[in-house]
Structure 1
Amino acid sequence: MTAHGPTAATPSDRPSIFRTAMGDDVFGRLHPQLQRRFSVGLGSGEACTGRGVMEQIWHGGRWVRPFLALGATRNILLPREGRRIPFVIENVPYRDAYGRETVTFVRTFDFPDGPRRFDATMVHSPARDCVLDYLGTHQHLASDLYFSADPAGGLVVRSGEHRFREGPVDVRVPRWIGGDAEVRESFDERSGRFRIRVRVTHRRFGPLFGYEGSFRAEYRDVRGLEPRPGLRPIREEARA
């Protein structure tokens, strides 16, 4: 069954990884539509697909482009700029090869010269007391995510420590290299759309990359189902 529009949050006997990380205080202050979106998980049995338009996708100076292009080879960040770019975001829960509840954040942007993807998969890390955001097709980069609610019931997500993981290598990305990400998501009652704004900045060099737009969400029952082919990462990282 697919549900559309402003409906109440779906109850769950087992909280989602996001609610677990937020705690009931933060989660309870979110708009009901954000509560439902971030209840996506194995407990709710729901997946969420958002379809909408990015009003603007931007990046910093020319020196940023080679790094964005390198990341794009593993579906990390976007090397393109544009306005009014259609996009889809797929949030699908599943259990990974290590038995952890995982939720996809796969974004596909329909640029005029062809689609581009920005992939992430998220798990809860009890040891780090946060959601761990694995970036890209091979989960080589991992970022700690921390959640708060703004006074209007919107969700604010900020990144913490970044780590690079490959084989025996597990190193913290120095602060002078890594960027700081901030995501703001809200629900507009009048339009029935979610609004999203993402900004990645560097402490010394300023804005690096970002986008903002809006989308409508659809929910579907995925209990007992696997994500569609191509949605899961190629490589899964054991360390959380």
Structure 2
Amino acid sequence: MNAIFEQALGDDFDKLHPEMRRRFSVSAAAGTACVGTGVMDRVWHGGRHLVPFLRLGAGRHILFPERGTDVPFTIENYGYRDRLGRETVTFVRTFEMPGARRRRFDATMIYSPTRGGIVDFLGTHQHLAVDLRVSVDATGGLHIRSGEQRLTEGFVRCRVPAGLTGTATLHEWYDEAAARFRIDVRVTNPRFGPIFGYTGSFTTKYVNTSTAPVPAAALPLRENPND
């Protein structure tokens, strides 16, 4: 089975920069993982009125209330099959924030034939399922934009109104001159404006998951069957 981003992009996958193509080819079938380490030049959030919301999300590894510059950063992308048999990739982002506080922003992604694209499950318990739209730019960089969001909590499953959600945009590309990946992530809301984001760069190493299995700490505590 092709990697989830190859399924989502189709022929456009070949338009990615070769280093981007390698990075987003992580899959269980290929037995590969990509671990990036670097520095976020800036981690930011909107006004103080957003802090309670961000603090609430931190408990489930979805956003967090700290700000910082020159923040050490890691991202772990492991390909595996979840307990439902779905080809899945982890996006575990760890930020070493000022004051010796470690924060995580976790997601697991699948390709959903039902939704016709990638679904991003956020947090430790996959409570939020978010549709992602992906595209490739003229330089071989990747753009991701979030769409509809659905909440699953116990027996409750519902669509989250757009006014209560944040729209996330991601731009990731490979800087050949610096031999680094660069990333810019922004989350905004039509009413409250900018919510959260980060920008910086990192390098990667590739791991053979047949000899280095997916760490338990990178896996969600619960898997959401509702894509």
Shift in Å, 1:204 = 2.2
Partner residue, 1:86: 72
1:152-195, Cα deviation, whole Å (9 max, x unpaired): 11100000101101222110110111111100000000111000
- Give ranges in structure 2 of 5+ residues lacking alignment: none
Shift in Å, 1:224 = 6.9
Distance 2:49 2:194 in 1: 12
Distance 1:47 1:20 in 2: 18
Name the amino acid aligned to 2:196. F
Q: Is the 8 A contact 1:134 1:141 kept in 2?
A: yes
Q: Is the 8 A contact 2:137 2:143 kept in 1?
A: yes
Match for 1:138 among 122, 125, 129? 125
Name the amino acid aligned to 1:239. N
Distance 1:191 1:238 in 2: 41
1:101 aligns with 2:87: yes
1:7-55, Cα deviation, whole Å (9 max, x unpaired): xxxxxxx31011101112x212111111111100023221000000000
1:181 aligns with 2:168: yes
Partner residue, 1:193: 180
Equivalences for residues 217-228 of structure 1 within 5 A: 217-223=204-210, 226-228=213-215
Partner residue, 1:3: none
The share of aligned pairs that are identical, in percent, is: 54
Partner residue, 1:164: 151
RMSD over aligned Cα, in angstroms? 1.1
Deviating 4+ runs (over 6 angstroms): none
SS at match of 1:119: strand
Q: How many residues align?
A: 226
Name the amino acid aligned to 2:108. T
Distance 2:223 2:106 in 1: 13
- Give ranges in structure 1 of 5+ residues lacking alignment: 1-13
SS at match of 2:164: coil
Shift in Å, 1:202 = 0.8
Partner residue, 1:232: 219
Bigger shift: 216-225 or 177-186? 216-225
Distance 2:10 2:191 in 1: 33
When normalised by structure 1's length, the TM-score is 0.91
Equivalences for residues 1-240 of structure 1 within 5 A: 14-24=1-11, 26-113=12-99, 114-223=101-210, 226-240=213-227
SS at match of 1:65: helix
Name the amino acid aligned to 2:85. G
